[in-house]
Structure 1
Amino acid sequence: MTTHWILGPGAIGRLLAHSLAPLAEVAVIGRRPLPGQQILTTPEGETRAQHLPSFTAERLAAGAAAPPAFVHITTKAMVAEASLASVASVLPSSTPLVLWQNGFYAQPRISQTWHGPVLCATTTQGAYVTGDDSVVHAGRGPTLVGDLDNQHTALATTLAALLSNAGFTATAVGDIRSRLWQKLAVNAAINPLVALHGVRNGALRDDAYSGRVIAVVGEVATILEKEGIAPPNGGEGKAAWLALVWQVVENTANNKASMLQDMEAKRLTERGAILGPLIESAERHGLGCEVLKGLDQELALLEAEF
């Protein structure tokens, strides 16, 4: 069996560990060890318990753990580089990394500095933690895997096959850069709004919030057109982006988005990794983005109270 280290025991990290554990050896790595017995609640409401080994980076550095086949980094985007640095001393420089971050911040930075293969994964699987020993799998969705320069197709195909066997319905793609921008568009339309209003994803369909979703997507569609990112699913313009957002909202209606989880826990959000690249792109292209800037400011004000 291959060994997979999962660096960052948040919702997606634990869901990934639960999914891979029957097929591979997994180790969940965080700032503090978690209970070994972990509980997963499926989208159908079933509960499953299994043992997931949990370590701190310091313990790994002090021991003589065998090198993993893959290191999955499932931390927040803004701390992904620091998290990698915490285990880099015990990793061969050729170790493949898999980056699961929201936004488009950590992916280019780590891809440029790590000597081994760096794959990027984007998923619409929905999950949220309910305690140190439990995670809820709130909604299923496709997962895409590839590298920014399209140089590791075989590795991406191997990983996608394993993830699919684990229930992630994964596909290796040669255009992951565009797919990450697509995910960024969805995140920008969903995460800030559910975080600000304290609602789950499905509530965005309500009249009270849908207008704000449409306004965000309007700005995002214009920005991505300037970036040369084609609308999804062969569609055209704003309508195609809006259809994608509503599809994800529907698929993850019961999900508590990561930014909402951060707000509830009074943690800093990933607004810099999600809204930041879009705002920077708009300014670079001379585009207005008052809606996106407004969301960023609203989130910043709430974060200042933590």
Structure 2
Amino acid sequence: MSPITQNPSHQRLAHAPGRPAHGHWILGPGAVGRLLAMRLADSVPVTLIGRRPPPVRLTLTTPEGERETRELPGATLESLPPTPPTMLHLTTKAYGVEAAIAALADRLPAETPLVLWQNGFSVQEALTRTWPGPVLCASTTEGAFVDDTPADAGDRAGDRVGDRDQGIIHAGHGRTVIGHLEGAYPALATTLAGILSAAELPCEAVEDIRVRLWHKLAVNAAINPLVARFRIRNGQLRDRPFQPMVEALVAELAAIMAAENIPSPAGGWSDRVWDVVENTANNRASMLQDVLAGRPTEIDAILGPLIEAARRHGLAVPALASNYRAMCPPAS
């Protein structure tokens, strides 16, 4: 892909002339969206947006066990604030991003910066090509999951979601990197990294976010489909019969990365994958959570780009293909 010319006007948090922008919109009130909203609320005005009314009150439980409850402005796609945002964070699943942007297009100035927090590597390139404003990609190791248990035991089953006090568990501290796929908009990325870091979400603006996303994609591809397919926690991949399955995937992934000229991590791909397995041994991967909840998974966003890259380079990837077929059975 040819380098994208950087427009100096996008170095600040842009908005359309005559329509003063205000705050950060966070589209997708799942784990990452709730964590962002809770952490950013002390620094910038935030609005949490969902298909249904997001919870009015959120309780954040920190990795240290501390609890913080606050009320946050919420909206749906049909009840957006009249003032456009300075920045839109997209924290929906990968398969929902383009539809969400289409639904918002007539409410957003073309210069609005987008921040993509998705797993995989599909919507990142697509929106970088098609959105007229800046598109930053984020990769995070922050651990979080949603706790929808009402805090008030008197809540009734018929209460609206927006009326209940709901939670977000910040399960583990991590780090976030952020940048443009072609290294554009460095000042904007640095500004946002500073905002996130000040909000207790350590973040670094990087020029090589494309490489970082490929690295995360490869690790996710070696772990997530297997644990979702066999409904196991990450640490169980160290047991037979799963360990040789992981190694077969790592060999195929290393070949794809080499063909794509993506540098391998220090210590090699096998060490990187097993380090992540070790560090997340008790975790239930997001894809496993989706399977257990009966939700669609991000299998296409994670395995799709890798299988397509293998096809382009004439590489045989039977292990990747087997996982893809297992997670995407043919329609009956």
TM-score between both structures, scaled by the size of structure 2: 0.84
Residue in 2 aligned with 1:80?
97
Q: Structure 1 residue 218: deviation in Å? A: 1.4
Q: State how 1:1-306 maps to structure 2 within 5 Å.
A: 3-60=23-80, 63-64=81-82, 66-131=83-148, 133-233=166-266, 235=267, 240-301=268-329
CA contact (8 A) 2:22 2:45 kept: yes
Q: Structure 1 residue 208: deviation in Å? A: 4.7
Structure 1 unmatched ranges of 5 or more: none
CA contact (8 A) 1:128 1:257 kept: no
Matched position secondary structure for 2:25 = strand
Distance 1:102 1:158, change over 3 A: same
Matched position secondary structure for 1:107 = helix
Q: Structure 1 residue 42: deviation in Å? A: 2.1
Which amino acid counterpart does residue 273 of structure 2 have in structure 1? V
Structure 2 unmatched ranges of 5 or more: 1-20, 149-160
Q: Which has the larger radius of gyration?
A: 2
CA contact (8 A) 2:22 2:84 kept: no
What CA deviation, in whole Å up to 9, does each residue of 1:183-233 have, x standing for no partner?
A: 101111121122122233333334453332222111111101000000123
Q: Work out the CA distance in 2 between the residues paired with 1:204 and 1:167.
A: 32
Q: What is the Cα-based RMSD across aligned positions, in Å?
A: 1.9
TM-score between both structures, scaled by the size of structure 1: 0.91
What CA deviation, in whole Å up to 9, does each residue of 1:158-179 have, x standing for no partner?
A: 1111111222221111111111
Matched position secondary structure for 1:59 = coil
Q: Work out the CA distance in 2 between the residues paired with 1:43 and 1:249.
A: 20
Matched position secondary structure for 1:148 = coil
Q: Work out the CA distance in 1 between the residues paired with 2:128 and 2:199.
A: 26
Distance 1:203 1:41, change over 3 A: farther
How many residues were matched structurally? Answer: 296
Distance 1:139 1:211, change over 3 A: farther
Q: Work out the CA distance in 2 between the residues paired with 1:39 and 1:30.
A: 18
Q: Work out the CA distance in 2 between the residues paired with 1:143 and 1:97.
A: 16
Which structure has greater helix proportion? Answer: 1
Distance 1:135 1:201, change over 3 A: farther
